[in-house]
Amino acid sequence: MADTTSNNDLHSQSLVIDSHNDSIVAHIRRGNISLNDEYTKSDKAYNGTIAYLRGKVPPEEDAIGIQLNIPKMRQGGIDAAFFAVDVTRAWKNHLSYALDAFGWFDMQVENNPSDICIARTGTDIRAAKSAGKLACILAIENSEGVERSLNILRSLYCLGVRSIGLTHNPNTWVSTGIDEGETGGGLTKFGIALVNEMNSLGILVDVSHISERGFWDVLDISSKPIIASHSNCKTLCNHPRNLTNEQLKAITANDGVVGITFVSGFITEDGWRNPPPFAKLLNHVEYAIDVAGIDHVGIGSDFDGGGDLLKDATEYPKITEGLIDRGYSDEEIQKVMGGNHLRVFEAVCG
């Protein structure tokens, strides 16, 4: 067993980045509660599109509580995180749904100026770490949020959006999602234009949830490194959301990174019914490293969106501890815990 003091030192000295959470919507749905205190509700509790459309939280979800917020990020030693807004359930108002979420988040930044900032570049992430702030990267999950307009894409970039997942599970105007299975098509004409414009602007292309054919289309045309923000290894768990060995190797060739996720059903095939032990998550990290290489693996929890293997962000040091126990060097662990995501973020976003 590795020394706990050494584990804590390495974790705190590392620049830790989580590449996917759904915490913005989770906070809004609970009544626009504070990002700094989950028990403090806003006086505008039911203000906004999301609170109106999705204001009721199922009991089983409410029982889990908020998994990632400012105090939990600090306790878990997470320095930066991708805050994604999944617009899939917004029906025909995808852009307004995203803007509703980002408006709430801007208010949180304004209310907590000494704690958080929006990061648009790698320099912003490094500066936040030095200043003791948490860096927040704005992301959209499901490109329906751009409403088939490259002008809107540019507007979202100006707001600070630096990562977009091309699909959720269903099809979009950009590509088929994993719901289509092996029969699904790939990128549409607009999808090709969108990827090219994202490359040009400096927005990360996220291939988690996309169909396999769509994945290969993206890899064929992207001139910049891509990410799979929250996906695991299909060899270890045969789920359509996970990546084959060939896909992992393609991400390596692209100089991208895959974020291993905490969703139990993506870790083991019966994970939805029988939550797997923590060691099974580490198996995915280790396998991805073996196939893709140490420079192309990171962590993407999916907290507040299904990433339930760890209780919440406070348990993040367990990953560092587990990698130490498996014999990885300090340098290797720092790459997985955030260095690889920072490299790709800087390569694409500056």
Structural domain 4-349, CATH architecture? Alpha-Beta Barrel (3.20)
Report whether pLDDT(254) > 80.
Answer: yes
What's the pLDDT tens digit per position in 131-186?
Answer: 999 999 999 999 999 999 999 999 999 999 999 999 999 999 999 999 887 777 89
Report whether pLDDT(3) > 60.
Answer: no
Supply φ then ψ for residue 27, to 5 degrees: -70, -40
**Looking at the chain, how many residues does it have?**
350
Pairing mode, strands 134-141 and 17-21: unpaired
What's the pLDDT tens digit per position in 288-311?
Answer: 999 999 999 999 999 999 999 999
Q: Count CB-CB contacts under 10 A for residue 331.
A: 9
pLDDT at 1: 39
In three state form, how does the secondary structure of 69-108 look? CHHHHHHHCCCEEEEEEECHHHCCCHHHHHHHHHHHHHHH
Q: What is the dihedral of CA 153, 158, 162, 167, to 10 degrees?
A: -20
Question: What is this structure's pTM?
Answer: 0.95
pLDDT at 2: 47
pLDDT at 45: 59
Q: Count CB-CB contacts under 10 A for residue 65.
A: 15
Task: Read off the pLDDT of each residue in 17-38 and give the average, rounded to a whole number.
Answer: 93
Q: Which residues 6+ apart lie within 8 Å of 94 measured at CB?
A: 87, 142, 144, 145, 147
Report whether pLDDT(257) > 80.
Answer: yes
Q: Count CB-CB contacts under 10 A for residue 350.
A: 12
pLDDT at 342: 99
Report whether pLDDT(270) > 70.
Answer: yes
Q: Which helix (H) or strand (E) holds 245?
A: helix 245-253
Task: Read off the pLDDT of each residue in 214-239 and give the average, rounded to a whole number.
Answer: 99
CA angle 308, 312, 316 (to 5 degrees): 105
pLDDT at 89: 84
What's the pLDDT tens digit per position in 37-95?
Answer: 998 777 665 677 776 655 566 666 676 789 999 999 999 999 999 999 999 988 778 99
Query: How far is Cα 58 from Cα 27, in angstroms, rounded to an integer?
Result: 14
SS3 229: coil
Report whether pLDDT(125) > 70.
Answer: yes
Enter the tokens of residue 57: 């939280």
